Every structure is written in C-alpha cells, then in structure tokens.
Chains A and B, each alone.
Chain A
Amino acid sequence: MTENYTKNIVIVGNGMVGYKFCEKLLAKNEKFNLIVFGEEPRVAYDRVHLSEFFSGKSADDLSMADVNWYIDNNITLHLGDPIKEINRETQTIYSFKGLVQSYDYLVLATGSAPFVPTIPGIDKKGVFVYRTIEDLEAMTSYAEFAQKGVVMGGGLLGLEAAKALIDLGLKETHVVEFAPRLMPRQIDQNGSKLLQHKLKEIGLQVHLNVNTSKILGEEQITGLQFADDTTMSFDMLVISAGIRPRDELARQSGLELGPRGGIVVNECMQTSDEKIFAIGECALFDGMIYGLVAPGYEMAEIVASYLCNIDKKFKGYDMSTKLKLIGVDVASFGDPFICEPDCKTISFEDSNKGVYKRINMTHDGKHLLGGVLVGDAEAYNMLLQTVNNKIVLPPNPEDLILGARGGAASEGAGVMSLPDDALICSCEAVTKGAICSAVMDQDITTIEGMKKCTKAGTGCGGCVPMVKDLINGTLKENGKYVKNVICEHFNFSRQELLDLIKINNIKSYDEVLDTFGKGDGCEVCKPAVASILASLWNDLILKQATIQDSNDRFLANIQKGGTYSVVPRIAGGEITPDKLIVIGEVAKEFGLYTKITGGQRIDLFGAHLNDLPLIWEKLTAAGFESGHAYGKSLRTVKSCVGSTWCRFGLHDSVSFAIEIENRYKGLRSPHKLKGGVSGCIRECAEAQSKDFGIIATEKGWNLYVCGNGGSKPQHAQLLAADIDSETCIKYLDRFLMFYIKTADPLTRTATWLNKMEGGMSYLKNVVVNDSLAIGEELEAEMDTLIKNYKCEWLEVVENDEMKKKFNHFVNAPEEKDPSVSFQPMRDQIMATQW
C-alpha cells in the first residue's frame, strides 16, 4: 500500500449507533473512505423517541441527519440495500442489490430485531412489532378500525408501545406480561405495583403472570388465549417481548457468537476476525447485550478511537436509567435488585402520591449500592453520583429519599441548602459561596451593596430575589434578626403595607410615602406600591405614571435599543383571520418584527415610543385590547384545542380559557401570572407549569396551582379535583386574591407557596375549606377589581394629553429617537446588539 492510500471503512447498518460511529470517526479528522449500507429505506433516525411519532413528530423530525450530511462528508450511502454475504478471505462484501465492495475494516452495526415468540396465530393480520417507522405507519392505519389493543410484554419498550396505542386513540389498551412484574429489568416488585397503579389511573390495564398460548381469529386477530385457557378479545396486538441481536450475517460468515446469539467482541469491539468490529445491540460483550443507546454510542467511540490509533477500551457500561414513562418518572441505578442479606435496604412507599423509593446500602451503612425510584425521580442524579463516586453516606441515609425532616422548612431554606458552588447569577458567574461570604465577611446586607461587591444581579437581574433570600438566609444563620421589609424607605413587608394602605383608604404613592415611609422613595418601593394600589383599587395606572416601572409607564415592553414591543390580548390563543390580518397590516406599516410568543399570542417588536399610540389606535379600532405583557399582571391563559375539535378532548378548554383570561385581564399582582387550560390528561396546554392550571377530567376540572416554568421549573400542585366550572372560578378568585394580598414583591406563586408555612395543605385549607373565614371577602375584592377593569390603551388613545407622554423628545415631538437602529435578519429586523 502506498502512503496515499485511503482505507475503506464499511459500515453495515444505518441506525443510531451506525450513524454515531460515522460522526465520531469524522470528528477525529483522519482520512478514510466511509461506505454505509442500510437495510431500511430511510437515513438513520432516533428510535429512542419513536413513540413521539404518535404525538405528532414526523419521520423527518426524528431523523438524525439528512442525506446532504452524508454527501457533505463524502460518505457513500446505500439505503434499502442489506448485505447478504461477507467474504473474509478477500475482505469483500456482497449486497442484496448486487454491489461488491472491498473493505479494510468492517463495522457491523446491524442492531436488533424484536423477538417474536412462536405462538400459534402470530402471523395473523393485526399483529405488529414495534421497531421501525414502517411498523408505526402500519399500526396507525390499522388502529383506525380498532377499539381494543394489547401489548405483549411489560418491559420498557412494551410500555412505550402501550403509550403509542393510547395516543392512537384506542378505547382500551392492555398490557400482558409473562413475568410477575412490570419492567423486570429495571424495577422491583413494589415499584412495579406502584407503577401499575399509576398506569391504571391513565387507563392502561396491566395483566401480570400471563402466558399467551394462542392468537385467536380467522385472518385477523380477534383475541388472545392464555395458558389457563381463559381468553380476552382484542382487535390488535403489538409484540414487545424483548430484542434479538441481528447476528445472521455474522453467523453465516463464521464469526464467533454467544450461546444465545450476539456477536462476541473484545474490549476493542473486535469480533473473532480482527478486521471486523461489532457495535450496538448486535454486540455481545462479556456475556451481555447492551440494549440502550448510550453504551452503543460508547462502543462507536471505542472503534473510532481504535481506527485512529487512540487507546480506548470498553469496560462495560452503567445501565442506570431514568425516564418518564407515560408521565410517570421511573429510575433505577447501580444494583437495584441486590437484597438482604447481601445488603441493607431502605424503602419508602406513598401510595397516596404514587411514590416508591428504595435504596440498597452496604452492611456498615457507609456506601450506596443502588436503588429504584418510581413516581418521583428527582434525587436520581444525586443518588447515581453517590453510587458511582462511592461517596460516604450521611448518618441518616433515609434523608436521601425522604428529604430532611423535622418541622416545616424555614423560609428560604431551599436556597440555603444549595451547595456553595451553585451558580446563582449566571450573567456574572457569581456562586452562592461568594454571596454568602460577602454577607459574612464584608457585612453586605442589601441588594445594592451586593451588586457593587460581587456584581451579582447586575446582568439580567433575574437572580435578584434569590440573592435577597441568600442575604437574609445567611444573616439568619448567623443569628441576626431580619425583618422582611420592602426597601430602605418602608419599614414594612408588602403584606403589612397593603393592609395599611387598604385600612387607611390611600390612593396615591406620595401619600403612602408621607404616611408610612421616609426619604423620597426608589425604584424598588415605587413599583411595589404601584402594584399594591392597582391590586386594591384597579385605577388607571397612568394617573401615577412616574411611579411605574418603564414598561408600565409606557404600556409596552422596553427592548434592546430602547424600542418597545406590543402584545395585544388574544384570549386563549383564539383569533379570527380578520384580526390576524390587522396585526399583519400594523406590523408592516410600522416596520415591526413579529413573533409568536410562548403564551399563544403575537408579539410585535421594534416600535418607537412615538409610534405606540398610533399603533394602538389601529389595534383598538379593530377590537384589540391591551395584553398587559408589560405588567406584573395576568398574561395569558394558554389552551389546547379541546373538545370542539380534538378527538380526545373531554371539555371545551378553549372557551373556558377565554372566559378565565377575560375575567382576570388587567389584574395587577406581585408578579406576572400565567394560566392554562387543557381539555384532557394529555395536557397539551402545559397547564401544570403555570401559576394556575386547569385540566379536564371525566367529572369536571382538576385545578392545579403554583406551577412555574422559568429558571427553577416547578410543577403545579393539585388544589381541588373534579370540580365544576363555577367552583373552579370561585377557588381561583380566592387563590389569586390571597396571593395578591400576601406575597412579597416580585414573588411568583411557586416561590410564594414554597415560603408559606404549612405549604400546600395550608393553602388548600384557606382556599377550599375557608379555614380563615375570608373566602367571601376575597371573592368580593376580586369582584370589585373585575368590575373596575378598563383597557389602558383604549384610555390612552382617547386622550390627547396622555398620547403626548409617548414622545421621545418633549421639545421635538415629531422626532423619533435617532439612536435607534436595526439589523436585518431572516426577512425581518432585529435590534442592533449591545
């Protein structure tokens, strides 16, 4: 061979691992000819997320790369052409379509096939396997005429397949499993019991210890017969009874196989022929097939390294997994099954919340060996770290799965429990440790001081509440008394000040400051008091424009470059074609960038201050109202399409979302408020990530509260179940008003609840059981606010004096800010970057 000779690497199989091998080899920058043969007609796609095909992902969405990727990287790709023979003597392969290709190295990434047991009737119509997009397409068209489906096999893939059947809209979905438990490779008997219970709640019926003996029906399946001669009727069957490595090509070429199949490989992934490698689910390493994608990728890395003369060995792979299965968290790590007397075990079960946790420890209680989590897998990463790094366990290891107990958590305890190196301000890279030591060593006790000392909070400002909690928490830990006050000008908490303002019937900021404060106010107390005044009286906020934050002062969101964005209300995300046209026309006329927001409405960016009243003249004329995107107030109530169109919808979620959004529009609160309404448990409106979320049930609505997306996502918690619309609104009135009256400034509902003594059970008592006997009062207060609602922008466009406040130069009203500039981007504009 000459020096310029480029070696041929032939890859058989174009699945996820085969694709990853190409990617990894290319990344190592050595020159090879890569030739790929794939049996399927498509380029490699993501099989792990196959079930998302049913929740609307297309084959394209799932693909790992497009054909151009192969072309751009000079990879020869033969699709729909399996290899039928390897001649190891001549190092040549022969394809089904008749291609002959020589190789220097051959990589077998042939994957696996579903294991199909030999049961009489297995070839009937309506019997499917779950492996390829073609399988899924066949299932989809058959499911249109099917009512009752069953999955054979209760492992990980089987449950995925069951989810697929539910998504396909089958009336009944069952799972039959030979073993006495679900997911026998990952979880134990108790975990399985709990999982089974949770699955039942979402309509999946599980039959364990069941041995299928026959598939009934003439041409097509009509049911299953079991070993005890009982039968059940079904219209379709999906087989997911495990995988079988695709080793037939290796077998025929005389490569060494395992006793139960699988191509035997060494720690370099070499088969018994050193020129031939096997990776992924067809490879048998140390007697084991690795049926997960991560070890497959690791194997790809090993071979790519070998070919580039990098020394790397496969040393087995940690099969710990965490996944969300039909909405239920399931995790197993380390050795989940080791039992007494080989270890000590702690387990915890809460069948009310649907949580099961088990940890296995060494006898001396010092090290963690493994465990199982079902229903709540939040601790997974930490537990896995503890196993893998052999971290010594604390004296009360049960805290690992139960959390520290002993009385209600103190205020801000969540923040204080973070490790010292936790990044609090990501803009300026300030850690918790830096903030706490600034408090202790430099006596910093204010946000202003902290900004100056550590720069924390000087970037986007999103971390300021957390910094405040850390300052207070650190002071408290050091035994200093901390009074929760708004700022240096008011020696009261927000709740105290709200009560004082209300009792004394005060309507203006200046009067509040004169009566209860000192100094001249600041950028913290002004908007806080403005919010209190708005929440109490719901007067037009522009009457006191200069105590409002910039966004509220100009009724729009200030953006980079000093322009504003405009968001008209589109309640529930429902909009007519005519209104869409108006938005398009306005955007064109004023040169605005348009984008759909996360709250199902349309944001128009790049508006000059001067143009805001002109824009709103057009929008209000077309019937639009302010969307209050600029305010600490109700933003949107997101909805899924609901029962009016959706075949799964139980109730009309859109109409209910619109009713609720219009009810609370303009409601000023300590922080922004977001809501959602979903028409069924599929939860397409993501209502559980909102401040309040409503999900349809067979009997009515479930009301969830205090959820949050944002930087610290938190699921909303159930406040009331199966309630009617009227009750739902009553509880919402009480909940929102209680939040408005008691939360600290700029505190979202989730943080408010986290800090509340007694937590959710206390909140439930106040709202549902009316334990404080303030229910009627809260409802009446909400009623007043709702009656006082007026569209702020309508007030402005009808008032010439107010319109004048939107001029950039008071001495040159016609002139717009000349410093504003834009850059073109994808046929629109963007702000010039700072």
Chain B
Amino acid sequence: MTEDVLTACEWIMVCDAKDIPENGGACVKVEDEQIAIFNFARRNEWYATQNLCPHKQQMVLSRGMIGSSGDSCEPKVACPFHKNTFSLQTGKCLSNDEYEIKVYPVKVENGKVFVSLE
C-alpha cells in the first residue's frame, strides 16, 4: 500500500545532493513554494519541510540547526529566531503544541534530490 502511494507521487527534482550541507539544511524553490531540505548525514536520512516557521511567519527553517530529541531520537529542526523545535518526521512542534509544519516526501537518486508536494 505504502509502495503504491509513494510511486504514485509526482517527484520533482529540486537540486543536487551536494548543494545541501551535511547535517544541515538549505532552501529550494518549487514553483512558488519555499521548501527546506535537510541532509541528516549522520543518520543517512533526508527530510523536507515547509521553510516557513509558523511562530512569527519567517522563511528561515532551512537555516536552523538539526538534531534529535529524547530516547527515541526524534529528528528535529530548531528555528533560528526563537528556537522553537519541530519534528522532521511528523512536523509537530516539540516546544509549543499550537504550531505544526508541513513535511514532504523526499528521496535522493544518482546524486539528485527529489521532493513531492502532494
């Protein structure tokens, strides 16, 4: 089932994998949207979220530091402005229940990064 959903996604190639710094993020433009891509090299994982921090509506999440939280090592990103932290897996805000961000499927093939906005 999951396979089917994933294959049904429309994958958009957004940048080269080497454009995204290791254990950090950078921003890409997909149509009119700003998407933050994170290269969690330490865990060999990639994540994509909206670039907008919902706290003060700032386009900055891609510039935030990433890390993990708790014994389950939930991957997270911290907004550079006020250090609100968001799960990279679920988009839930870990420091304030009122906020949530969108997360997107992302994959790397042949050194290229693809995201799906659906």
Q: How far is the CB of B26 from chain A (nearest CB, A)?
A: 5
Looking at B56, B65, B66, B95, the one whose CB has the most chain A CB atoms below 10 A away is B65
Q: Are B82 and A546 in contact (CB under 8 A)?
A: no
Q: Are B59 and A545 in contact (CB under 8 A)?
A: no
Interface residues of A in 508-567 (CB under 8 A from B): 510, 519-523, 525-527, 545-547, 549-551, 553-554, 558, 560-562
In the complex, A243 Cα to B34 Cα: how many Å?
A: 72
Chain B residue, CB-CB nearest to A609: B63
- 1/0 contact string of A812-834 vs chain B (CB within 8 Å): 10010101100000000000001
Chain A residue, CB-CB nearest to B38: A546
Task: Answer whether residue B23 sits at the interface, using C-beta atoms and an 8 A cutoff.
Answer: yes
- 1/0 contact string of B74-105 vs chain A (CB within 8 Å): 01101011111100000000111100000000
A520-B42 contact, Cβ under 8 Å, with A458-B95, A546-B65, A562-B58: yes
Q: Are B14 and A811 in contact (CB under 8 A)?
A: yes
Which residue of A519, A523, A820 is within 8 Å of B65 (Cβ)? A523
List residues of chain A with CB within 8 A of the CB of B24: 545-546, 553
In the complex, A489 Cα to B75 Cα: how many Å?
A: 13
Q: How far is the CB of B70 from chain A (nearest CB, A)?
A: 7
Chain B residue, CB-CB nearest to A546: B24
Chain A residue, CB-CB nearest to B20: A810
In the complex, A488 Cα to B68 Cα: how many Å?
A: 10
In the complex, A339 Cα to B70 Cα: how many Å?
A: 65
Task: Answer whether residue A24 sits at the interface, using C-beta atoms and an 8 A cutoff.
Answer: no
Which residue of B40, B42, B64, B96 is within 8 Å of A523 (Cβ)? B64
A520-B96 contact, Cβ under 8 Å, with A546-B24, A550-B63, A553-B63: no
Task: Answer whether residue A798 sits at the interface, using C-beta atoms and an 8 A cutoff.
Answer: no
Q: How far is the CB of A746 from chain B (nearest CB, A)?
A: 12
Q: Are B29 and A554 in contact (CB under 8 A)?
A: no
List residues of chain A with CB within 8 A of the CB of B95: 448, 451-452, 458
Chain B residue, CB-CB nearest to A553: B63
List residues of chain B with CB within 8 A of the CB of A527: 65
Interface residues of A in 198-242 (CB under 8 A from B): none
Chain A residue, CB-CB nearest to B39: A546
Q: Are B82 and A526 in contact (CB under 8 A)?
A: no
List residues of chain B with CB within 8 A of the CB of A809: 27-29, 34
Which residue of B29, B63, B68 is within 8 Å of A520 (Cβ)? B68
Count how many chain A residues have C-beta atoms less than 8 Å from C-beta atoms of the other chain: 42
In the complex, A349 Cα to B115 Cα: how many Å?
A: 74
A547-B65 contact, Cβ under 8 Å, with A522-B78, A562-B60, A811-B19: yes
Q: How far is the CB of A408 from chain B (nearest CB, A)?
A: 33
Task: Answer whether residue A764 sits at the interface, using C-beta atoms and an 8 A cutoff.
Answer: no
Q: Are B80 and A522 in contact (CB under 8 A)?
A: no
Task: Answer whether residue A713 sits at the interface, using C-beta atoms and an 8 A cutoff.
Answer: no
Q: How far is the CB of B87 from chain A (nearest CB, A)?
A: 13
List residues of chain B with CB within 8 A of the CB of A402: none
A810-B19 contact, Cβ under 8 Å, with A452-B97, A562-B60: yes
Q: How far is the CB of B93 from chain A (nearest CB, A)?
A: 9
In the complex, A523 Cα to B79 Cα: how many Å?
A: 9
Q: Are A810 and B64 in contact (CB under 8 A)?
A: no
Q: How far is the CB of A317 from chain B (nearest CB, A)?
A: 46
List residues of chain A with CB within 8 A of the CB of B42: 510, 520
Q: Are A461 and B83 in contact (CB under 8 A)?
A: yes
Q: How far is the CB of A424 from chain B (nearest CB, A)?
A: 16
Chain A residue, CB-CB nearest to B42: A520
Looking at A527, A553, A810, A819, the one whose CB has the most chain B CB atoms below 10 A away is A810
Task: Answer whether residue B111 sits at the interface, using C-beta atoms and an 8 A cutoff.
Answer: no
Task: Answer whether residue A805 sits at the interface, using C-beta atoms and an 8 A cutoff.
Answer: yes
Task: Answer whether residue A460 sits at the interface, using C-beta atoms and an 8 A cutoff.
Answer: yes
In the complex, A551 Cα to B29 Cα: how many Å?
A: 23
List residues of chain A with CB within 8 A of the CB of B34: 809, 817, 819
- 1/0 contact string of B14-39 vs chain A (CB within 8 Å): 11000111111111110000100000
Task: Answer whether residue B73 sits at the interface, using C-beta atoms and an 8 A cutoff.
Answer: yes
What would 29 A/B residue contacts be, using CB atoms closer than 8 Å?
A: A448-B69, A448-B85, A455-B96, A488-B70, A510-B23, A520-B66, A520-B68, A521-B67, A522-B76, A523-B64, A546-B25, A547-B23, A549-B80, A550-B63, A553-B63, A554-B63, A558-B60, A558-B63, A562-B59, A805-B21, A809-B28, A809-B29, A810-B28, A811-B15, A817-B59, A820-B59, A834-B56, A834-B57, A834-B58
11 additional A-B residue pairs with CB within 8 Å, beyond A448-B94, A455-B96? A488-B70, A489-B67, A510-B23, A520-B42, A527-B65, A553-B24, A553-B63, A810-B15, A811-B29, A812-B29, A815-B29
